[in-house]
Amino acid sequence: MARIYVLDASALLHFIDDDSGAARVERLIKDARDTTPLLISLVNWGEVFYHQWQERGEETARRTMSNLARLPLDLIAVDLAQIMKAGELKAVHKIPYVDCIAAALAVVRQATLVTSDRDFDKLGRQFPVLWVGRA
């Protein structure tokens, strides 16, 4: 069975901004064109949109999201299993809820979470994490 990856918003932002770790995300995107599923929750997709709008304005944010929509990313709607797991993670680990959404998707899909967000350190080793943009 092929490995599955879940992008947190921070990973996709590193890719967009060509920051450290962008090459690693780009490799995952290329692999997703072939055999490796690359998922992102619609909630985290919205987080990327929000961040781009705040940093670069509405027009650029909309253009960026339109360009990202052409990539082989599977946009995943939030379901009950993911919401329940996210609520559990939030209650136990006290990290931002939107981060819990990404983590929950990784847990539910038995996937590797791709992130640079240090909040995920608080979760320990509950699931595999591929760190991007970290020294």
pLDDT, one tens digit per residue, over 34-87 is: 888 999 999 999 999 999 999 999 999 999 999 999 999 999 999 999 999 999
In which band, very low, low, confident or very high, does the pLDDT at 2 lie, cut at 50, 70 and 90? low
pLDDT higher than threshold 90 for residue 118: no
pLDDT the model gives residue 64: 97
d(CA 46, CA 98): 10
CATH class of 5-131: alpha beta
pLDDT the model gives residue 134: 61
All structural domains of the chain with their residue ranges: 5-131
pLDDT the model gives residue 135: 44
d(CA 42, CA 104): 13
